[in-house]
Amino acid sequence: QSALTQPASVSGSPGQSITISCTGTTNDVGGYNYVAWYQKHPDKAPKLILYGVSNRPAGVSIRFSGSKSGNTASLTISGLQADDEADYYCASYTSASTLVFGGGTKLTVL
Amino acid sequence: QVHLQESGPGLVKPSGTLSLTCAVSGASISGTNWWSWVRQSPGKGLEWIGEIYHSGITNYNPSLKSRVAMSVDKSRNQFSLNLTSVTAADTAVYFCARAKGWPQRDFDYWGQGALVTVSS
């Protein structure tokens, strides 16, 4: 299975909004509403920030939102804060009943 | 609060077997959750290795399937990973995680990660 495609890096200034894309195929992202997003700070475990494309776990800021169109899912972070600087990974269920992650996107807060 | 803790050798020789255990506290491994292993090689992204249910049912990443075996020890509330014939490419931080749903596998709890280096 091939990793989902994410941009290697994105950046934004505090207070701005950014969007990270996650592109797959009809066998994963496009075929199911089972896309999750994780935030990972260096030397820390990943943290679930969105599941089921657009659902936020309890305690996750409303500044994080998700959507999907066709084979591409997107994570939008509004009102950027310094602590948002991290790596972000999407993940999707696949038609082979496995899980595939995206390659990860490094977010830099300028 | 659910807590996961990985343990095992931090150094494995090439062609050897990598073995890790994940101890779970605050939740029963015999519940309705599936339990996964995920790794991150240096400078690279996350890779799902596979998962196990308390009944012993497993699903593995096709790219690793021939070398992976997972098991569960309900009496100790823990699950384990064995990866055989390791090479330097298997050097990574290995995380165990709990999936809050299936088949979507949204991982709501993670261990802190265990660095395993493959080197002679």
Rounded average pLDDT per 10-residue block, chain B, 120 residues:
97 98 97 96 95 96 97 97 98 97 91 97
Phi, psi (deg, nearest 5) at residue A71: -90, 10
Question: What pLDDT was estimated at residue B88?
Answer: 97
**Does the pLDDT at position A1 exceed 80?**
no
The C-alpha atoms of residue A22 and residue B45 are separated, in whole angstroms, by 14
Cα-based distances in Å from B78 to A75, B61, B69, B97: 34, 21, 15, 12
**Does the pLDDT at position A32 exceed 90?**
yes
The C-alpha atoms of residue B68 and residue B95 are separated, in whole angstroms, by 15
Of B62, B100, B113, the CB nearest to A45: B113
Which residues, at least 6 apart from A94, have a Cβ–Cβ distance to it below 8 Å? Answer: A1, A27, A28, A100
**Does the pLDDT at position A60 exceed 80?**
yes
Question: What pLDDT was estimated at residue A106?
Answer: 98
Query: Which chain B residue shows the shortest CA-CA distance from A33?
Result: B104
Q: Which of A80, A94, A53 is nearest to B62 (CA)?
A: A94
Mean pLDDT of A85-92: 98
Query: Which chain B residue shows the shortest CA-CA distance from A38?
Result: B107
Mean pLDDT of A77-106: 97
The C-alpha atoms of residue A100 and residue A86 are separated, in whole angstroms, by 20
Of A45, A46, A97, the CB nearest to B103: A97
Mean pLDDT of A55-83: 98
Q: Is the peptide bond before B62 cis (omega within 30 degrees of 0)?
A: no
Question: What pLDDT was estimated at residue B66?
Answer: 97
Question: What pLDDT was estimated at residue B56?
Answer: 94
Task: Work out how many CB contacts closer than 8 A connect A with B.
Answer: 67
Question: What pLDDT was estimated at residue B104?
Answer: 83
Question: What pLDDT was estimated at residue A2?
Answer: 86
Mean residue pLDDT across chain A: 97
Phi, psi (deg, nearest 5) at residue A84: -75, -15
